[in-house]
Amino acid sequence: MRYVAETATDGQFAFFEDALAREYALRHQSRIARLKRQANFPSQKGFDGFEWSGIVFPRGFTRDDMLSLAFIDAHEDLVLFGGSGNGKTHTAIALGLLACGEGRKVAFWSTAELVSELRRANREGTTQDALRKLGRCDLIILDEWGYLPTDPDGARLLFRVVSMCYERIALVLTTNIEFSRWGEIFADDDMAKAMMDRIVHHGRLVTYDRESYRVKHALMRGEL
């Protein structure tokens, strides 16, 4: 190798540098593609053409702040709140794709599916393994938080996830459930309050105050 370094021409050096750059680019692209597959996104929707009108960001936190993904490094949470079809899930997926593009490990779950998976792990005695797998993520996205009521056992399993993530892993939740109703959804006021305290402490609420995209573009719009 030393002989090659001492005898190679400028043209040969340029060839080697180009070959190494191409190899690095291929490996980088392969890693990003793998991270996106492992994240289990339901679609590959990015922010190209995304409609931002009607989305209200909290004081001191802008759209650019969100898109910078600094909240992931700070282990902070985002709660995307609004009615059905307002683009909350689209936003969450697009943020996850951006994170994967930066080499971060992401997990996307519908909340009901995660509860089901944790129940299965609990029955099989592998709950700790399931939590360790989640614990290796940089960002966990829980879609449709509270859309379906959860019994106390399910709420306890979700609480373990939220507790594990607190100040360690960023969470993004999409929901149409006001904080005041979390006790109803999770069948335990104390458990709901404990989850809320952890999420709110380092979290920000992004509100989607606009017409449902699906209704706006529905084939039956004139009949609704």
- Digit-coded pLDDT (tens) for 180-197: 999 888 888 888 899 999
**Judgement on whether residues 28 and 116 belong to the same structural domain of the protein:** no
pLDDT band for position 8 (50/70/90)?
Answer: low
Is the predicted pLDDT of residue 224 greater than 50, yes or no? no
Quote the CA–CA distance of 143 and 96 in Å, as a whole number. Answer: 12
Quote the CA–CA distance of 136 and 121 in Å, as a whole number. Answer: 17
Is the predicted pLDDT of residue 6 greater than 60, yes or no? no
> What is the reported pLDDT for 20?
62
**Judgement on whether residues 18 and 54 belong to the same structural domain of the protein:** no
Number of domains forming the structure of the chain: 2
Quote the CA–CA distance of 131 and 121 in Å, as a whole number. Answer: 10
- Residue 181's φ and ψ, nearest 5 degrees, are -105, 0
> What is the reported pLDDT for 30?
84
**Judgement on whether residues 73 and 151 belong to the same structural domain of the protein:** yes
> What is the reported pLDDT for 7?
64
Q: What is the mean pLDDT of residues 153-157?
A: 92
**Judgement on whether residues 31 and 117 belong to the same structural domain of the protein:** no
Is the predicted pLDDT of residue 58 greater than 60, yes or no? yes
Specify the CATH number for the domain of residue 218. Answer: 3.40.50.300
